[in-house]
């Protein structure tokens, strides 16, 4: 059974169909990416998956119908979104932002262990644990957003444009971290405009254009597809 199944899902803004009859799935332990141009409907699809937008069609998570679950219930089940704008609490410390990710649990020792695990994965967050989140660099803010998401103990992490606005060196570091999440048993659904980095990291890719899936397959095959190379990968 796939971890996440999206079946014939559509999302509309008024009379505008932003996503039309999209189907995809994420298997346990997989990194699946959705690539496509700006305005294709990628973020809309992710917001619908977490429950922030109303959708039509069928979505299941670990076999359970998501339409019956609130956003909070989806998070408790292990579905977690890291939004494009990171949505950190700028005037709270790095440590307090991380602890917010563990808001559904009460075992102090377990929470502290998970905090240390995040610090081990992101040493810069440990160095800056007392700093306000608003004083961090763009790369550090993305690390903090990822770390806070990991504190929820997700089974599936939905990442919306994690490379947005970051320098190339930091982008490589972020994608290396995303790839390493397999070691934790965390599956990833990754929405990304940086098609090359996304396909180099993912197992499976879907191409979304004007709200519809126009191509899909193993990421290693898609990255060598001439049409995709011309459209998204700079032609080389």
Q: What is the pLDDT of residues 136-158, one digit of tens each?
A: 988 899 999 999 999 988 999 99
* Domain ranges for the chain: 87-153
- Tally of CA atoms within 13 A in the half-sphere of 197 that contains its CB: 21
Q: What is the sign, positive or negative, of the torsion defined by CA atoms of 78, 84, 85, 90?
A: positive
User: Treating both helix axes as pointing N-terminal to C-terminal, what angle do 108-121 and 138-150 enclose, rounded to 10 degrees?
Assistant: 140
What is residue 234's predicted lDDT score, i.e. its pLDDT?
58
Strand partners of residue 34 = 191, 206
Distance CA 11, CA 61 (A): 18
Query: Edge-to-edge strands of the sheet including 204-209?
Result: 79-82, 156-160, 187-192, 31-35, 204-209, 212-218
Strand partners of residue 218 = 204
Q: What is the pLDDT of residues 164-220, one digit of tens each?
A: 888 888 889 889 989 998 888 899 999 988 888 999 999 999 999 999 999 999 999
% of the chain exceeding 70 in pLDDT:
97
**Residues 6+ positions from 39 with CB-CB distance below 8 Å:** none
Task: Look up residue 67 and give its DSSP letter.
Answer: G
Query: Edge-to-edge strands of the sheet including 16-26?
Result: 16-26, 4-13, 56-61, 64-65
What value does the mean pLDDT of the chain take?
90
């Amino acid at each position: 059974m796939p971890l996440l199944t999206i079946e014939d899902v559509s999302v509309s803004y008024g009379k505008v169909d932003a996503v039309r009859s999209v189907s995809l799935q994420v298997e346990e332990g997989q990194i699946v990416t959705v690539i496509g141009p700006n305005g294709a409907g990628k973020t809309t699809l992710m917001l619908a998956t977490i429950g922030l937008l109303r959708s039509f069609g069928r979505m299941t998570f670990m076999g359970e119908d998501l339409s019956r679950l609130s956003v909070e219930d989806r998070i408790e089940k292990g579905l977690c979104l890291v939004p494009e704008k990171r949505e950190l609490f700028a005037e709270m410390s790095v440590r307090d932002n991380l602890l917010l990710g563990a808001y559904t649990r009460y075992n102090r020792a377990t929470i502290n262990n998970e905090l240390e695990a995040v610090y081990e994965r992101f040493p810069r967050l440990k160095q800056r644990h007392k700093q306000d989140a608003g004083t961090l660099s763009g790369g550090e803010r993305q690390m903090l957003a990822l770390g806070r998401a990991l504190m929820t103990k997700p089974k599936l992490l939905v990442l919306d444009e994690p490379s947005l606005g970051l320098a190339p060196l930091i982008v490589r570091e972020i994608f290396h971290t995303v790839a390493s999440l397999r070691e934790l048993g965390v599956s990833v659904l990754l929405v990304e405009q940086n098609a090359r980095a996304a396909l180099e990291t993912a197992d499976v890719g879907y191409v979304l254009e004007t709200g519809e899936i126009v191509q899909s397959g193993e990421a290693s095959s898609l990255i060598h597809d001439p049409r995709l190379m011309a459209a998204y990968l700079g032609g080389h």
